[in-house]
């Protein structure tokens, strides 16, 4: 295993190293499979008492039945078609070319940003299919609703295989333009331990690509995020066709709020180019599974829960407005705080108070960034609450998202604190004295 100047040996291991990597690789796929088993018409989740034997009884009881579940032909054909049609669209749809941050080999990768064209194409296709349909019945959406467990398994296996693929190609030297001293790929600073399982999990190569097509950026915002949208729509479709054309306000609200979040992400994809996922994290099982399986199947839990007969919730105008207000406040904090930092970094807000650092860049201690070190995380977390509250208080499981996302943000804050302490040294200590709260002002 070669560790070179370009790709130094990774010493620090995230998630407690190998045990954490193995735990997540086994645990999270089981969790989303569990979600599929408790949000269906056979076992409808109610309260906190889980009938484990009844849940497990839904799983195949023989080896043959397991094989049929994992390799369900029609689900594989549908999923592969979905994935590769999106790949094709990504290639042919127009977009603006943007550059990523400078990499350790001095290059800056080109990215095609075509989220707008992709979203418009998908919306036009869905509206076109609805217009053609008889009684607004779309077999594609029904297929998704009827095959949640099978499709969950397909996305897990596919993300596993994709992670193997990108791990293997990370060893193939790249042909670089003349003048480059090395033909090594740029690896992630976190994914070059030399332990194959850990590196496969965390992501060995920083930006795996086939030609100019960037696998990581594509997976972050296309097949999983848009599948999440389709799963949510399939829930409305199901309720509409089984409930005399009626759809509850709670299910509509979850759909609208999450669709807004999905399109906001897809339409602002250039923002991702400077985020830790693209600049620092390698693409391995963690991201592959996260993007392709976890996002669609864990984030759609609320809509799937609300579709099951018996779980319907009518919010009424007051509750609906209250939840909407939480969403608007959360989104306002999230968007304006991120914009303030980005504008400040571009030299646009020089009237705001800041402290200089020895690296040359300043740290903002005013406006949103005077309230806490990651006020934007608070906004994002409030958005998460607005997705869970429409499910009422019948079961804590539908609040899984805010617990999970809260832990993710806490972990991210710790990672970012370590990164900034390393980068800014004493200036970071000074910054933390001036802005003592980490996420929630006056609380934490």
CB of 401 to ligand NDP, least distance (A): 10
411 near ligand NDP, judged by CB under 6 A: no
283 near ligand NDP, judged by CB under 6 A: no
380 near ligand NDP, judged by CB under 6 A: yes
**Which parts of 310-349 interact with ligand NDP (CB under 6 A)?**
334, 338, 341
**Angle at which helices 115-132 and 249-267 pack, to 10 degrees?**
140
Q: Tell me the number of residues near ligand NDP by CB under 6 A.
A: 18
- 362 near 355, Cβ under 8 Å? yes
How many Å apart are CA 79 and CA 56, to the nearest integer? 25
- 435 near 424, Cβ under 8 Å? no
CB of 140 to ligand NDP, least distance (A): 27
CB of 111 to ligand NDP, least distance (A): 17
CB of 247 to ligand NDP, least distance (A): 26
276 near ligand NDP, judged by CB under 6 A: yes
412 near ligand NDP, judged by CB under 6 A: yes
CB atoms within 10 A of CB 232: 26
Among 14, 146, 312, 416, binds ligand NDP (CB under 6 A): 416
CB of 366 to ligand NDP, least distance (A): 9
| Alpha-carbon torsion (217, 220, 221, 222), positive or negative | positive
420 near ligand NDP, judged by CB under 6 A: yes
Residue with tokens 């300043």: 362
* CA-based radius of gyration for the chain: 23
275 near ligand NDP, judged by CB under 6 A: yes
Strand-pairing partners, residue 214, are: 209
Binding region for ligand NDP (CB under 6 A) out of 158-166, 219-227, 303-311, 374-382 = 374-382
How many Å apart are CA 386 and CA 402, to the nearest integer? 10
CB atoms within 10 A of CB 308: 20
Beta strands in 309-437 (DSSP E): 354-355, 363-364
- Catalog residues that contact ligand NDP under the rule CB under 6 A: 275-276, 334, 338, 341, 361, 363-364, 369, 374, 376-377, 380, 412, 416, 419-420, 423
């Amino acid at each position: 295993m070669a560790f070179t100047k370009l790709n130094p040996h990774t010493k620090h291991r995230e998630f407690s190293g190998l045990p954490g990597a193995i735990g997540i690789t086994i645990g999270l796929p089981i969790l989303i499979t569990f979600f599929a088993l408790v949000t269906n018409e056979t076992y409808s989740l109610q309260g906190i008492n889980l009938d484990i034997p009844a849940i497990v009884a839904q799983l195949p009881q023989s080896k043959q039945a397991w094989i049929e579940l994992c390799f369900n032909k029609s689900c594989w054909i549908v999923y592969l078609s979905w994935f590769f049609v999106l790949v094709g669209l990504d290639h042919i749809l127009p977009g603006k070319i943007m550059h990523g941050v400078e990499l350790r080999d001095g290059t800056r990768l080109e990215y095609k940003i075509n989220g707008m064209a992709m979203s418009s194409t998908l919306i036009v296709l869905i509206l076109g299919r609805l217009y053609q349909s008889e009684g607004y019945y779309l077999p594609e959406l029904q297929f998704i609703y009827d095959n949640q467990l099978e499709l969950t398994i397909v996305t897990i296996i596919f993300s596993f295989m994709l992670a193997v693929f990108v791990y293997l190609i990370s060893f193939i030297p790249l042909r670089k333009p003349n003048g480059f001293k090395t033909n090594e790929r740029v690896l992630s600073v976190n994914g070059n331990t030399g332990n194959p399982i850990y590196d496969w999990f965390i992501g060995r190569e920083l930006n795996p690509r086939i030609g100019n097509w960037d696998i990581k950026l594509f997976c972050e915002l296309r097949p999983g995020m848009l599948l999440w949208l389709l799963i949510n729509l399939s829930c409305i479709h199901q309720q509409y066709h089984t409930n005399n054309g009626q759809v509850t306000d709670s299910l509509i609200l979850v759909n609208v709020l999450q669709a807004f979040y999905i399109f906001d992400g897809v339409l602002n994809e250039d923002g991702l180019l400077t985020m830790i996922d693209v600049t620092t994290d390698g693409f391995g099982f963690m991201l592959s599974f996260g993007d392709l399986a976890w996002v669609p199947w864990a984030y759609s839990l609320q809509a799937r829960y609300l579709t099951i007969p018996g779980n319907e919730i009518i919010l009424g105008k007051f509750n609906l407005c209250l939840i909407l207000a939480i969403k608007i406040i959360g989104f306002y904090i999230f968007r304006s705080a991120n914009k303030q930092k980005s504008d400040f970094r571009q030299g646009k807000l020089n009237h705001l108070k800041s402290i200089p650092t020895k690296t040359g860049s300043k740290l903002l201690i005013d406006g949103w960034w005077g309230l806490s070190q990651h006020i934007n995380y608070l906004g994002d977390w409030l958005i998460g609450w607005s997705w869970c509250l429409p499910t009422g208080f019948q079961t804590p499981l539908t609040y899984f998202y805010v617990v999970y996302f809260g832990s993710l943000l806490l972990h991210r804050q710790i990672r970012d604190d370590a990164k900034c302490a390393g980068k800014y040294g004493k200036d970071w200590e000074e910054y933390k004295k001036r802005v003592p709260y980490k996420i929630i002002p006056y609380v934490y």
